[in-house]
Structures are given as structure tokens and as C-alpha cells.
Amino acid sequence: MRILRGIAVASTLVVVWFTGPVVTEGQAASEGPVEIPAEVLRDKIRGGLLGQILGNLNGIPHEMRYIDEPGDVAEYVPALPDGAWTDDDTDFEWVYVDAMQRHGTILIPHSEIAALWKTRINKRIWCSNQYARVLMDLNIEPPMTGSIALNPWADFNISGQFLCESFGLIAPGMPQTAGRIGLNFTRVTIDGEPAQTTQMFTAMIATAFLTDDMEKILDSGVTVLDPRSVLREIVGDVRTWHRAHPNDWRTTRQLVKEKYSKYGGEMRDRNGYELNTASTIAALAYGEGNLANTLRHAFNFGWDADNNAATAGTIVGVMKGYRWMMAQGWDIRDRYRNETRDGMPQDETITSFADRLIEVAERVIAEQGGERVADGLRTVYRIRTEEPANVYPLPSLYGQAARMRDAMKDEIESAVLGDREPRAQARAAYLAIALDLADAIRAGHPEQWARALAMLQEYPQVAQVMYHHSPVPAAEPLRERAKRAGLEAPAPQEEEWLWQRTADESAADDTGRSRVPRSR
């Protein structure tokens, strides 16, 4: 196992040859072809991944520790002396990037995404990701798994931002493309404002390949937001407070908490996009392009600190580059140990993970009209850069249930009344509860409803996440409908049980009943 402790090399100043607009440090590109030397592009992708991993894993000791008050981390030196390991901030993207390579396509179809989850993503998942995974066992596929009508986490969970960074890394200089790719995967579990965070952070990462001016990077993120998005106000507030208190991050943190903590510090705050987006932007502003300082501020701002540090670390990692980071003498072991994802390599390293991203980025560049050019003296990537722009407007989530109910009513009733396939009946029962059709079906067809409900109860993890692993207040209407429909609240189980049951379902036969022996 190689030990990477920093080699005395030059930092990765973006020195590029151009066929289009000239881009220098501190200047953003306009739309058009830009040439970046291959070694610079590779260095920045590797730097972005390492920055993400450092923020994630060095941030775990601070995750959810600073809620009422900020942290007090005064000194911080990035390090991974035992190497990196899989955690949900990076291993979902690892699964996706591997699939892109194997299938030779970037926008993996949603049916294949569901198959990937069933075979590879079965443990150490929480919140909206956990809920979506349970819905997949009912053969509810993305993006329905990210619908607020079906998933009570979906309109606020930060899955839209902490699962998006790799998609910015594989679309250098192409913020619109980065957003489209990111949304294909993050909308598995979220929608609405969280989908705007996907666009914002992937745009910022894509832009960081072309400039080290943090103000321009932040501007690119704001530009891609729907004009109605509350994120515009959140980012604007943080930048205003930073300008007013450039040497007093604690005051800014207090202002963020006072304005955007709306649920008494409970999970809706801790895991919500408002406070965590604000924290990420603040870390970038107060970090001033210094990676260690950026991550330290992300830790201290708190809430879901490791995820915020990972996103901020990706942006600064792209700006600084891998060679510069390794020249700092930080104790970093080149290892990416798989502890979480079934069927994925056991011998991955940080650099081999980065090589996957580089390979996929080359494909994205080509598909968007760019190319890799070698003339014997140098190799460059000619990239058709894009102006930042919104690619997915903010939808009306609050009419979503009614629209889905109108569209699916006949299908749901038909499955309850006539379909004898157990999983189909379980799926229909859940959809009927979620879309407020269960009362009418139960009243008109009590025997058929009882049968469908019995099939749903063959998936006990569904009731478990609904009653015991769902947020207040978003899940309360869903729980009330479930109670009226006759779905009893189970005794709470540990999350390890839930993971095991989810893994069991991936090995289930076509009756929906698991073939895997259980200890409970």
C-alpha cells in the first residue's frame, strides 16, 4: 500500500492553451471551447476527490455535534493516516461511476439505478436514502422514490448536495451538463429545493476548473438556481453577513441559526438543506481558498458537518489540485477501503477512484462536443464550456400528490382488486396510503383491501421507516393515513435490522418473501 506524504512539486496553476476565450486565474470562462492540459485536468479531478474525502472523513467526529452552539476547532491538519473508507458521502457516487464505466453511458436509466441499489446499496444508509431504498423493495422506482408524495424526507433532505460532487468533477467547465447528470442520480431521493442544491453545487465545482476566484464560483452557483428558490436568499444572506463580519464567523453562524433553524434543532433542521447549505457557503467564504481553513469552518458551523465539509472540500480541492495538496506533507494513505457497498471492489485506492472519474470525464467532454487532443508535444482536453443556467425549474411539490393520484388511481385500484402477485399488491397498498386512496378502497372493497394490506405487511421495513424513521412534521399525515388504513405501527427496531431486511429483499424470490434466513 502506497503512503502519500506530499512531494515537493509545483501547485497546479491553471496554465492553458486556448482555441476560444482566454481564462486566467480569477476570471470565469464564457461559453466556448477551452483547452486545458491533460495533466492539469487530471490533477484537479484528483484534488477534488481528495478534498471531498478529507472533508467527509475528517468531518465525521463533528457530525451533528454542534447544534445549539458552534464548534470550537481551533487547529486542523488534514490527514488520513489509515487511508480512506467508504461512507455515504462518497460511496453512492462510487457505485454510479463504476456503473457508468461498465455500461458505457453517463445517464444510467432509472430502472438500472434501482437495480444497482438493490444489489449494492443495502446498508449504512439513512434518512431519505433509507426511505427510497425501502420503496424500491416494493418495485417503486426512481424518480418516484424521490417524490415528496411518497417519501417524507424528499423536500428537505440534503441528499441533493452530499451525493452530487462527483457529477461536478466529471463535467469540468460545463455547469449545465453537471446539473443534468447530477439530477439524474440525486432525484432518486429528493426533489424541490434539494434538487436546486444539486444544480448549485455541481455548477460551483464545474466552474472551479476555470477560476480560483471564490466570488465567481459562488456567483455561478446562484445563477443556476430557479428565481423562486429560497436558496438565493440563503446564499445572499450568508454572503452579506460575511461581508459585514469578515473576521467574526461566530456572528454569522448565530445569524444563520436565528433565521433558518425553524424546528427547534430537531432532525428537520439537522438534516435540512437550509442550515447545511448556509454552512457550506459560509465555510467557503470564511475559508478564503485555504483547504484546511475551509474544512475547519465547515466543522465549526456544525449541523451535518461532514457532508458540508465534503462539498466545500471538493470545490477547494479542484482549485488547489492534488499535487499541491500532497506537497503539504499531510499524512494521507492511498487507500479507499470498502466497508459498505456490496459487489464493489475491495482493493480500491483514492487514486484509482479518481482514475475512474477521469475516464468518465473524458467521455462527458467528448459527448458534449469536446475532445482529447495530442500532437506529440502535449495532450490537452478541448472543452466546450457552458454558461451557468438552470436546467430543472423548481416544481410545485404541493400539488404533486393530487397529480399522482389522478394519474395512478386506476392502476392502484386495479392492482388491489385483481392482481394476485404479492409484491404488486404490496406496492399498490403503499401507494394507496400515500396518495390518500386507501379509505375509499377499504370502504368499497374491504376483503380485497385486507389482502393487499397483508401483502404490504410482508415488508415490515416499510412500516418501520414510516413510523420510526421518518421526520416530524412531514411524515405525520402519512402516518395518520396509514393508521386509518389499518397498517399497525410496529415495535421500533435498530437500523441494523432494517439494513438486513433490505438486503434480504434483494435476494427475495418472485413472491416477495425472502429466501435468506433471519435471526429475528
- Dihedral Cα 168, 281, 300, 189, nearest 10 deg: -50
Task: Report whether pLDDT(13) > 60.
Answer: no
| 284 exposure class (CB count in 10 Å sphere: 0-12, 13-18, 19+) | buried
Q: What does the alpha-carbon distance between residue 434 and residue 402 come to, in Å, rounded to a whole number?
A: 11
HEC letters along 107-176: CCCHHHHHHHHHHHCCCCCCHHHHHHHHHHCCCCCCCHHHCCCCCCCCCCECHHHHCCHHHHHCCCCCHH
What topology is assigned to 3-385 in CATH? ADP-ribosylglycohydrolase fold (1.10.4080)
pLDDT bucket at 496, cuts 50 / 70 / 90: confident
Neighbouring residues of 382: CB distance < 8 A, sequence distance ≥ 6: 19, 33, 34, 35, 365, 370, 371, 372, 373
Report, as an integer, the average pLDDT of 97-104: 98
More confidently predicted of 12 and 323:
323
| 243 exposure class (CB count in 10 Å sphere: 0-12, 13-18, 19+) | exposed
Q: What does the alpha-carbon distance between residue 23 and residue 30 come to, in Å, rounded to a whole number?
A: 9
Neighbouring residues of 463: CB distance < 8 A, sequence distance ≥ 6: 456, 457, 482, 487, 488, 489, 490
Which of 501, 498, 493 lies closest to 517, judged by CA?
Answer: 501
User: Residues 444-495: pLDDT tens digits?
Assistant: 999 999 999 999 999 999 999 999 999 999 999 999 999 999 999 999 988 7
Task: Report whether pLDDT(503) > 50.
Answer: yes
| pLDDT for residue 500 | 72
Domain ranges of the chain: 3-385, 397-506
| pLDDT for residue 5 | 29
